[in-house]
A and B are shown apart, each in its own frame.
Chain A
Amino acid sequence: QVQLVESGGGVVQPGKSLRLSCVASGFTFSNYGMHWVRQAPGKGLEWVALLWYGGSDEYYADSVKGRFTISRDNSKNTLFLHMSSLRVEDTAVYHCARDKAGVRGMDYYLDSWGQGTLVTVSS
């Protein structure tokens, strides 16, 4: 079955960088677009970024644009989120999620989610 496992979270000081990873299994990773979605403690879901299956197009929430970069290594079935210039307000559980469309492109429906990894930005 589809499985997404995030890692790389932790406690980091404001202004520092962190890289999250999401290892996929149970499906042909290279055929699917992928998303990152975050959830601050006690708050709702906030979409962060998406990357097309071929890596050709990427889009970001305004709140992270210019600071976060989404990338993928299809040979290792792994999605990444490189986060720099971290702020206290970036504190959240970060989930990776698969886009339902597959090779059709993107339909912006997230049909499989990982459990998430917690990032805490604090001095």
Chain B
Amino acid sequence: QSALTQPASVSGSPGQSITISCTGTSSDVGAYNYVSWYQQRPGKAPKLMIYDVRIRPSGVSDRFSGSKSGSTASLTISGLQAEDEASYYCSSYTRTNTHVVFGGGTKLTVL
């Protein structure tokens, strides 16, 4: 199955906002609201940051927000902090027989 499309890298200065896009198809992001986002710091396991397009699990900062328009989902991080530097992956349910697809990942650099 094809991965969802994310930019390879984004960057921003502390305090700024950045947005990471995640483009899918009418079989996944465009068809369902089963979109999630994960943060992975170097050498660490991924952490669920957003699910159901825009819902934050308990304990996740409200600086993280999610949205979706058509077949493109987005993760916005406001008030960038050094600790936000990590790779971010989107994921979606897909109606293909595999059921789950990830994006290729976006490396966020806080300048």
Contact = CB atoms under 8 A, between A and B. Distances in A.
A115 B87 CA distance: 16
Interface in A41-61: 44-47, 50, 59-61
B98 A47 contact: yes
A61 to B, nearest CB: 6
Given A44-B89, A44-B105, A95 B97 contact: no
Contact of A50 (B51, B91, B100): B100
B57 A47 contact: no
A44 B102 contact: yes
A100 B89 CA distance: 17
B45 A109 contact: no
Contacts of B46: 37, 45, 95, 97, 110, 113
16 contacts: A37-B46, A44-B89, A44-B105, A45-B46, A47-B91, A47-B100, A59-B98, A61-B98, A100-B48, A106-B99, A108-B34, A108-B91, A109-B36, A110-B38, A110-B48, A115-B45
